Structure 1
């Protein structure tokens, strides 16, 4: 037994020595080869070691973003992008900010307001793009882009043309003998709403909450939120006029839903307009995402478009919400900022065309705008009054603004005007409450 065990042991050792020698003989060459591959990877990732980017945005994937990233991924095997949707509301933005603060996978993200962007710049999560010199944002996007600058710098690229408008039931207008307005006041819109309600609609006008307070901001962006003496301008006479006009439409004319009812019921105003319950809607270009969806929102009327009304008597004094939006930033803490920059440039200039079908027109001058409109209207172009659409998109020369009021003040202001529309305080008390709270905010933040 011992003799056999000895030979078995000797044979096993011999085999092991041969195997180790063989491994040792190849090991140097394989190490050199692996080192060379590693060196190459550091310069240009191979397709099996692609850089992976995650982009967070508020648009549902099926409304364009997924088609965008699919097109990029098909052409760029070395940089693959995943789209993550967050809902563009307070909870959704908190989810994004938490992900940014805790180092979760976020390489690019979309900002939907200047105030959100400013907070993210302050927290150090939005990358200063001045280190990149191969893309001129002012030339590509135009003068409206500068409204997104923070302390004179770009921390992202605005990619979408913002358009706020009234969409109108063109068939109802024709039956009532009403023209499609190209410039009008809230007093005129109030009369339109009366006539259209009298024609059989439940409401003459419904409003999406996003542009609801824009009439106030239009006045205060033009005249200043702060007076020359450093005090609040919330008591501007046209702020009071807006409150009284809306209240009269809600309570006296009953041509628009009471705000309390709209908020508590989460009223689906788009459905109401497209379903024929309301003759007009104050909304933006995202309406086209639903109005092109004839399966879920079938309609038998043509849609016309008008600029939003103004509170001012003089048209020359009016500025309207608009400009450019969908401001896409790169996470300053991303490990792949160069790859993210390459994707962002492509997205702005050519990649976002699938977004047009969902109501988001590209802002870059590099984009074929006619092609974008055709994509916007899709197969239902004949269900729109295209002349009025082209006017609100490109013919309306009113200056535009992007709201810059700090979010804290936006929230405080809405708390006060909601009390008014709910009947808990009168218009003068509401103006004074907004004035008082804004002055306190200015004092606390060193603006006085």
Structure 2
């Protein structure tokens, strides 16, 4: 919690820096998208002949899970532009480290954003170059209509580079032994029943990575609206109550999923637990593949199947799921080598990122070789996956998707309240009332 208060102070400094940057006249945030007007001098200044441009790209994926192979391939063919990959952990502390680096003028030329809330703050702080200054790449045409979900005020401050998939990974052998089919669509009530049937002794039937933990809540509010018709907070929506009740019952009554307190204090290694066969269902994203393909560190003797994340809504037509496009890569507005960064970013998006597929990150560009990327994703471990279900969650599921766009302050606020409920220090009604009240206060103050 101390870090959060320091982060709030840093955010104030960051925003102040952004205001000063905007006053300096160096930005181009007022240029119409695609106009090319207002290109910064740093973007257009040519490098002296013979000079080697050195770029630093910050991202949250471990270097050995694809990024190092990407930059090695680029560096081999582009001696005039050399890229170094810098890893930051995609959590509160890691994102703070990246923001601090940009605020203090450390070397950051390109950086990967994993949520809309993070990119929105960085745009507000003046850290991100608006891309209409570069007119030789049509993001909408390359990435398709889902790319528009990453626009801010109608403009692109980066390129979404991957097809983002979230799913429930399943121990297929355990499902077969319990005579349970691999679902193509299901509800949280049905997942709860699966967890009961798959629970064995003291072992849990279902575990979650903390990153997509709250996705069901955003799934509801992305569809129904974060506010009601009268403008008041919708945090007390009946399906938000349903999510809280269901998960709490799985923790306290069924004992089929870890209590949140246990998961937070132990920093539970959920991927390791799933891949060791100790828990048969895991809610996670496509980054699971970088571990499940690694038999050296995570040996397993079972086949993995995949199911969509379950819905809270009874009617499948009323459901949206997290997904679409992700890994939104931006260029630092203060970089002295924006043109070189742009050349690398185009190459990366159109297929240079292929080694990332081994970690579950499929390229979004229509010009990338999707079949080759898929084969790279499963590597020589193809027979350890249920290919039909993997293809379904990655390519064939037509459920509409959303990108989490709620402000980070709201993400933090509601987490503080639902954690109290799951830890037993606050009732369900108190939790819903507190979330709603604090959201209303946030909107009023904003």
| Alpha-carbon distance between aligned partners in 2 of 1:115 and 1:243, rounded to the nearest angstrom | 23
Name 1:290's counterpart in structure 2: 291
Pairwise CA distance, 1:45: 4.4
TM, length-normalised to structure 1: 0.88
CA change 1:53–1:388 in 2 (3 A) is: same
For residue 372 of structure 1, what is the aligned residue in structure 2?
A: 373
Q: Distance in 1 between matches of 2:204 and 2:124?
A: 43
User: Counterpart of 2:413 in 1: which secondary structure?
Assistant: helix
Equivalent residue number for residue 81 of structure 1 = 83
- Kept in 1, the 8 Å contact 2:47–2:53? The answer is no
SS of 1:219's partner is helix
Deviation track 1:152-207 (CA, whole Å, cap 9, x = no partner) reads 00000011111000000000111111000000000000000000015x57111000
In structure 2, the residue matched to 1:35 is none
1:174 aligns with 2:176: yes
Q: C-alpha deviations, 1:222-265, integer Å up to 9, x for none?
A: 00001111110001000001000001100110000001100011
SS in 2 for 1:183: coil
Structure 2 unaligned spans of 5+: 1-44
Deviation per residue, 1:127-146 (Å, 9 max, x gap): 00011111111111111111
1:143 corresponds in structure 2 to 145
Whole-angstrom CA distance in 2 between matches of 1:404 and 1:91 = 20
- Aligned residue in 2 for 1:228: 229
| Residue of structure 2 equivalent to 1:340 | 341
Cα deviation 1:304-351 (Å, max 9, x = unaligned): 000000000000000000111111101111111111111000000011
3-state SS of 2:56 partner: strand
The one of 120, 125, 133 equivalent to 1:118 is: 120
Q: How does 1:3-42 map to 2 (within 5 A)?
A: none
Work out whether residues 124 and 332 of structure 1, in 8 Å CA contact, stay in contact via their aligned partners in 2.
yes
TM-score by length of 2: 0.89
Does 2:307 correspond to 1:301? no
| Separation (CA, whole Å) in 1 of partners of 2:91 and 2:220 | 25
In 1, the alpha carbon distance for the partners of 2:390 and 2:212 equals: 18
In structure 2, what is the Cα distance between the partners aligned to 1:44 and 1:132?
17
CA distance in 2, matches of 1:118, 1:95: 17
Deviation track 1:39-89 (CA, whole Å, cap 9, x = no partner) reads: xxx856445x21111111111111111111111111111111111111111
Structure 2: how far apart are the matches of 1:247 and 1:84? 39
> Higher Cα Rg: structure 1 or 2?
1
Which ranges of 4 or more aligned residues in structure 1 deviate by more than 2 Å? 42-47
Is the Cα contact below 8 Å between 1:59 and 1:65 reproduced in 2? yes
Q: Post-superposition shift, 1:90? A: 1.1
In 2, distance between residues paired with 1:222 and 1:365?
Answer: 28
**Mapped pair 1:189 → 2:191:** yes
The runs of 5 or more residues in structure 1 that have no matched partner are: 1-41
Q: 1:98 maps to which residue?
A: 100
Q: Secondary structure at the match of 1:357?
A: helix
Quote the Cα distance in structure 2 between the aligned partners of 1:157 and 1:388. Answer: 29
Matches within 5 A, 1:252-263: 252-263=253-264
1:278 alignment counterpart: 279
Output aligned runs, 1:375-386, within 5 Å: 375-386=376-387
Partners of 1:82 and 1:157 lie apart in 2 by: 19
The 2-side partners of 1:357 and 1:166 are apart by 19
Contact 1:45 1:78 survives alignment (8 Å): no
**Secondary structure at 2:206's aligned position in 1?**
strand
CA distance in 1, matches of 2:226, 2:235: 7
Alpha carbons of 1:96 and 1:44: their partners in 2 closer, same or farther (altered >3 Å)?
closer
Task: Please tell me whether residue 434 in structure 1 is matched to residue 435 in structure 2.
Answer: yes
Question: What residue number does 2:326 align with?
Answer: 325
d(CA) in 1 for partners of 2:444, 2:46 = 53
